[in-house]
Amino acid sequence: MKTVTCTAPVNIAVIKYWGKRDTQLILPTNDSLSVTLSQDILHSKTTISAAKEYSGDRLWLNGKEEDITKNKRMHNCFRETRAIRKAVEDKAAAAGQPIELLSTYPVHVCSENNFPTAAGLASSASGLAALVFTLAKLFDLPSDMSELSRIARQGSGSACRSLFGGFVAWEMGKEADGSDSKAVQVAPETHWPELEALVCVVSDAKKGTSSTEGMQNTIQTSPLMAERLKVVPGRMEAMKKAILAKDFESFGELTMRDSNQFHAVCLDTFPPIFYLNDTSRGIMRLIHEYNRSSPDGKIKAAYTYDAGPNAVIYAPKQNMREIIQLIAHYFPGTDSDYYFKDTYGVLGGAAL
């Protein structure tokens, strides 16, 4: 029996992934780019043990056992990591070296998120990244993160970006087999220490439309989506440039525009998908007002929203105090259905 525990962080996209060209292999219709948040507060922690005696693969999520018999995405991750391990075992056997046949053992997976699950806070990204990273450590696989990201992608698309810290692009790739659809680090977590993220938990309820269902409905019904696909390549280049130059003005505007366009294609989906609520829109207005009040006219903060109402606000560190005070002032009290959390720095990717 062998047991390993790892954690993986959440990543929040500033150029959103929305739409698959291959739903089996999870190949996206556009490149995307995200910022990996600190592991300290938002993370998935996963323990996996492999033992000959186990009767089958099992999963406990946040303390409750889940039926994984129909969970194809999890099985994709088991299959892919076991195949690489098996090749290592075969090689060792051929060379006459002893090796434990871990690839043949069933596994027990215990995973917990220290934040609301499936509420649009990227729990699938950190969860599936933690699963693949822990399996890789359990099976002693070579830890080429881009290689592992191709496997994590088949668990949950956005999970591929959580294997790296810092600023991470998911290159959509061209190949039909997905061999070039992987995550790459644009800049490490040490690159832009002045940039911080504030997570405003507007609601911790589970989202109504899953991203899997939502994005396919968008692809099938939204004429606006074709326009989005023309815009994203230029945005990706501009975003990489902004990050490398630590140009918050461009980073912030691109981030807000991309979030707005993503929610516009959700509204253009038929029937429409609503992820934002009145509080989310209130926070958007507040950030625009805050930026309008900037003495030099420069953007001081940028919001972005995933498939849920919760806001993530990116801003230079020196503005964060003011932003937290503003949010606390305009969205006060614990009686309402929102509260906000502390600031998180930008830190590393999956860790042992």
Q: Residue written as tokens 């696989």?
A: 141
Among 149, 156, 255, 279, binds ligand PMV (CB under 6 A): 156
CA 45 to chain centre: 15
d(CA 70, CA 65): 14
Q: Which one of residues 37, 302, 307, 313 is an interface residue with ligand PMV (CB under 6 A)?
A: 307
Out of 29, 32, 126, 269, which residue is the one contacting ligand PMV (CB under 6 A)? 32
Cβ atoms of 314 and 301 within 8 Å: the answer is yes
| Stretch near ligand PMV under the rule CB under 6 A, chosen from 12-20, 199-207, 229-237, 295-303 | 12-20
- 57 binds ligand PMV per the rule CB under 6 A: no
Burial class (CB in 10 A: 0-12, 13-18, 19+), 282: middle
Per CB under 6 A, the list member of 57, 189, 196, 306 interacting with ligand PMV is 306
Considering only the stretches 41-49, 150-158, 265-273, 280-288, report the one whose residues sit in contact with ligand PMV under the rule CB under 6 A: 150-158
Q: Is there binding between residue 13 and ligand PMV (CB under 6 A)?
A: yes
Contact 48, 108 (CB under 8 A): yes
- Closest listed residue to residue 145, CA positions, set 36, 14, 18: 36
Minimum CB–partner distance for residue 3 and ligand PMV (Å): 28
Distance CA 310, CA 56 (A): 37
State the minimum distance, in angstroms, from the CB of residue 156 to ligand PMV: 4
Comparing CB distances to ligand PMV, the nearer of 33 and 138 is: 33
- Report the nearest approach of ligand PMV to the CB of residue 246 (Å): 22
Rg (CA), the chain: 21
Indicate the residue among 89 and 306 with the shorter CB distance to ligand PMV. 306
Nearer to ligand PMV, 16 or 108 (CB): 16
Q: Are 139 and 175 in contact (CB under 8 A)?
A: no
Q: Which amino acid is at 78?
A: F
Binding mask 188-227 for ligand PMV (x = CB under 6 A): -----------------------xx---------------
State how far the alpha carbon of 6 is from the alpha carbons of 11, 82, 127, 151, in Å: 16, 18, 11, 17
| Nearest to ligand PMV of 287, 307 (CB atom) | 307
Residues 53-80 as b or e (16 or more Cβ within 10 Å = b): eeeebebebeeeeeebeeeebbebbbeb
* Token pair 């230079």 in the structure block, residue: 316
By CB under 6 A, tell whether 124 contacts ligand PMV.
Answer: yes
Helix (H), strand (E) at residue 287:
helix 278-292
> Is 16 an interacting residue with respect to ligand PMV (CB under 6 A)?
yes
Q: Based on CB atoms, which residue is closest to ligand PMV, 108 or 263?
A: 263
| Choice between 17 and 344, CB closer to ligand PMV | 17
Give yes or no for residue 17 binding ligand PMV (CB under 6 A).
yes
Q: Minimum CB separation from ligand PMV for residue 56, in Å?
A: 26
As a whole number of angstroms, the distance between CA 122 and CA 145 comes to: 19
Q: Does 273 bind ligand PMV (CB under 6 A)?
A: no
Size, binding site for ligand PMV by CB under 6 A: 14
Q: Do residues 163 and 36 make contact, with C-beta atoms less than 8 angstroms apart?
A: no
CB of 212 to ligand PMV, least distance (A): 6
Task: Give the residue with the Cβ less far from ligand PMV, 18 or 192.
Answer: 18
Residue with smaller CB distance to ligand PMV, 5 or 212: 212
Which residue number, 18 or 331, has a Cβ lying nearer to ligand PMV?
A: 18
CB atoms under 10 Å from CB of 112, counted, come to 16
**CA-to-CA distance for 273 and 53, rounded, in angstroms?**
46
Taking each helix axis from N to C terminus, what angle separates 248-268 and 211-221, rounded to the nearest 10 degrees?
80
Residues contributing to the site for ligand PMV (CB under 6 A):
13, 16-18, 32, 124-125, 156-158, 211-212, 306-307
